[in-house]
A = this chain, B = another copy of it.
């Protein structure tokens, strides 16, 4: 990877450098009057909000290393290219779901995009106990539309193969997922950490051969099942919400992978928000109703996904897989419906596995969730996290005889009522 010509933006250089970009001037007005602030609280990149007399934009620029760690952990600038490519595809496949892109500069690894001024990060809203109308349904629709329309169910086979080849270049970001999600949590890796009180549970999971087999099976699936273009990092920190709008951001981990990955990661993060609620309650039980709502919205993710996937299967199945000329056109429409149910069952089975692994890595691995991290009382935090670890384990191991979403949530609710420490 060359970084020749690349220079990280600063608050000082931003107006002069972006002032040359017509798309930025068109949104913001005169560069002399711009005000910029750096707001990046993520792990990897620079993020600026730039406000001018006529409007505001977000400027996201990749750094040639992991921001959280520093230059000792290099990371290719090309992730910005892949993020932009993914944003373009998402905008086409689910219009309105991703932020609008105004400008992309590949050499500077820089995207100028819509500033969502009324929005907050969904994870923050869930910590605050805020309800968002239609949340699970909107995210389920996003998954169904992007995952279906990015697959051989919809695309021309040669186009999908070319796109697969393109995104194979995002290997460094996949490497992060492959190691930090699927492997490190299940061994004593140097960068792991966990809340005091979880030592015994961590050790038990790291000695649980059945769980490790499932985790490695899911890693195999992530690395080899190139079914569709994934968002690749679809947690509640990658969703922004307002009272009447829901957006999905930050697809820099985009890669071809199994449909169940985005779905499972999203469900996992809803379930972790659910498990964290007792830690946010001012009085015991104060968050019970909100926790119930979170489970309802988790169910809504999957029911919306199933509904929209079904609609697209019946109306947009134009790719080379399960062609209508083999089924409906031969009076075998029932076969196409059976095949749809088989595919949905396979996606759900994968999602259960990915869900469990995601719940483990957010508690035992490097990258933790604010849902738990904001619980100041360590004992209370450990109690919440212990339940999430167990829910993850039980759901991941249930794959072979997969329960439906209702049964999975019933199990989560039951485990959430236990004291595991």
A residues adjacent to B (C-beta < 8 A): 151-152, 157-158, 161-162, 164-166, 168-169, 171-172, 174-175, 178-179, 183, 186-187, 206-207, 209-210, 212-213, 216-217, 219-220, 223-227, 320-323, 325-327, 330-332, 334-335, 338-339, 342-343
Contacts and interface: CB of A to CB of B under 8 A. Distances in A.
A216 B157 contact: no
A209 B168 contact: no
Contact of A212 (B207, B210, B225, B332): B332
Contacts of A178: 157, 320
A154 to B, nearest CB: 13
Contacts of A325: 187
Contacts of A223: 152, 157, 320-321
B157 A168 contact: no
A213 B341 CA distance: 11
Contact of A330 (B168, B175, B187, B219): B187
A171 B175 contact: no
Given A158-B171, A330-B206, A339 B152 contact: no
Contact of A168 (B151, B161, B172, B210): B161
B326 A186 contact: yes
B157 A339 contact: no
A343 to B, nearest CB: 8
B330 A207 contact: yes
Contacts of A162: 168, 171
Copy number of this protein in the oligomer? 2
A64 B219 CA distance: 40
A212 to B, nearest CB: 6
Contact of A335 (B209, B327, B330): B209
25 contacts: A151-B224, A158-B171, A158-B172, A161-B171, A162-B168, A162-B171, A164-B164, A164-B226, A165-B165, A165-B168, A178-B320, A179-B320, A183-B323, A187-B326, A187-B330, A206-B330, A213-B342, A216-B321, A216-B323, A216-B326, A219-B320, A220-B321, A224-B226, A225-B225, A225-B226
A179 B158 CA distance: 13
Contacts of A227: 220, 224
Nearest to A152: B223
A19 to B, nearest CB: 37
Contacts of A171: 157-158, 161-162
List the 10 closest A-B pairs by CB distance, nearest first.
A209-B335, A165-B168, A165-B165, A161-B171, A158-B171, A161-B168, A224-B227, A216-B322, A226-B226, A209-B332
A338 B157 CA distance: 36
A183 B326 contact: yes
Nearest to A259: B224
A108 to B, nearest CB: 24
A219 B169 CA distance: 25
A183 B320 contact: yes
B209 A334 contact: yes
